[in-house]
Amino acid sequence: MTAQLIDGKAFAATVRASVAEHVARLKSDHGITPGLAVVLVGEDPASQVYVRSKGKQTLEVGMKSVEHKLDAETSEADLLRLIDQLNNDDSIHGILVQLPLPKHLNEDLVINAIHPSKDVDGFHISNVGLLGTGQKSMVPCTPLGCLMMLRDYHGSLSGMDAVVIGRSNIVGKPMAQLLLNDSCTVTIAHSRTRDLADVVRRADIVVAAVGRPQMVPGDWIKPGATVIDVGINRIDKPEGGTRLVGDVDFESCAAVAGAITPVPGGVGPMTIACLLANTVTACCRANGLEEPQGLTA
């Protein structure tokens, strides 16, 4: 391996420490405790793990954590009523509805019912519009985490060629927008992109958010490029059991890249750290206080 490892786990610990410092100051100087409410509908096992982890980390940085676990059969009206209650609760500064929702619930409707100022996932249509026009918004956590790591490694990203593979609303599109806002020349690739290898080879920065295990091989990577692997895929091990891999083939990419994030231990830990960062930012904005530096885009 020649690439420098971008250690998301260690970076996330520094983000959490900075959040904890701000939370302590909000409490001591203003008597305010930032609060995050997480709503889980149904019993999807992966979602349950995420929600547990979010709750634990929220408490660890000194914030208030509220969990609402609703039955899989919960009606849209009941869910919207809960969101309305949380929108009007001054002790709650961030609201996150864990996705995916059961099929009978309209995700767009539910997400857009969250007040944009409390939308710590950054998925509300107002926040998407604000980000798209370069205005202050709540920024989706996973792309925000990627951006923080890229800025930390490179300093300025201005003028760099970036390729984002994937165009989902939660990762690919906001990632591309953030890179554009940082003055990269951005290409968004997707399943219909012709000659993906050729497109990726032009990139100084590659962000892979596809959901296909080890899809990007090392010979697609420009020597010295920075590779951010968002993918989380569970594959079978030859000797039995399973392991997590990303969307890039780590071994071959690390042999060519200048820097690379591992899976696990790269983007994943940064996502929850950025959720905490967004909550403290939302709390400062709600109270008309100066927001923390370095914790948002």
Give residues with Cβ within 8 angstroms of 239, minimum separation 6: none
Which has the closest alpha carbon to 163: 139, 145, 187? 187
Q: How far is the CB of 164 from ligand NDP (least distance, A)?
A: 9
Closest alpha carbon to 36 in 15, 18, 61: 61
216 binds ligand NDP (CB under 6 A): no
Q: How far is CA 66 from the centre of its chain?
A: 20
The active-site residue, picked from 57, 119, 121, 173, is 121
Please give the Cα distance from 225 to 3 (Å, whole number): 9
Q: Work out which of 36, 196, 206, 256 binds ligand NDP, going by CB under 6 A.
A: 196
With beta carbons less than 8 A apart as the criterion, state whether 229 and 247 touch.
Answer: yes
CA distance 1 to 247: 18
SS3 56: helix
Please report, as a single letter, which amino acid is at residue 261. T
Nearer to ligand NDP by Cβ, of 231 and 292: the residue is 231
Place of tokens 């042999």: 255
Residue 11 or 32 having the CB closest to ligand NDP: 11
Out of 96, 114, 164, 171, the only residue in the binding site for ligand NDP (CB under 6 A) is 171
C-beta separation of 238 from 162 below 8 A: no
Q: Does 170 bind ligand NDP (CB under 6 A)?
A: yes
Q: How far is CA 80 from CA 77, 84, 104, 125, 283, in A?
A: 5, 6, 13, 17, 22
Q: Which is nearer to ligand NDP, 33 or 193 (CB)?
A: 193
245 binds ligand NDP (CB under 6 A): no
Residue number, 105 or 228, with CB nearest to ligand NDP:
228
What is the C-alpha separation between 180 and 269, in angstroms, rounded? 24
148 binds ligand NDP (CB under 6 A): no
Residue 98 contacts ligand NDP per CB under 6 A: no
Q: For this structure, is 121 an active site residue?
A: yes
Selected from 267, 274, 295, 297, the binder of ligand NDP by CB under 6 A is 267
| Alpha-carbon dihedral sign for residues 114, 52, 208, 16 | positive
Q: What residues contact residue 41 under an 8 Å CB cut-off, 6+ apart? A: 70, 71, 72, 74, 79, 97, 98, 101, 102, 105
The answer to the question of residue 264 lying near ligand NDP (CB under 6 A) is no
Q: Which stretch binds ligand NDP (CB under 6 A): 21-29, 104-112, 152-160, 185-193?
A: 185-193
Closer by beta carbon to ligand NDP, 26 or else 144 = 144
Residue 57 binds ligand NDP, judged by CB under 6 A:
no
Among 79, 209, 253, 273, indicate the residue that binds ligand NDP (CB under 6 A): 209
Q: According to the binding rule CB under 6 A, does residue 248 interact with ligand NDP?
A: no
Active site residue 98: yes
Residues 152, 155, 157: CA angle, nearest 5 degrees: 110
Region near ligand NDP per CB under 6 A, out of 11-19, 90-98, 113-121, 162-170: 162-170
Judged by beta carbon, residue 192 or residue 237, the one nearer ligand NDP is 192
177: tokens are 């927008």
Among 12, 230, 256, 276, binds ligand NDP (CB under 6 A): 230
Active site residues: 54, 98, 121
Residue numbers at the binding site for ligand NDP (CB under 6 A): 142, 165-168, 170-172, 189-193, 196, 209-212, 230-233, 267-268, 271
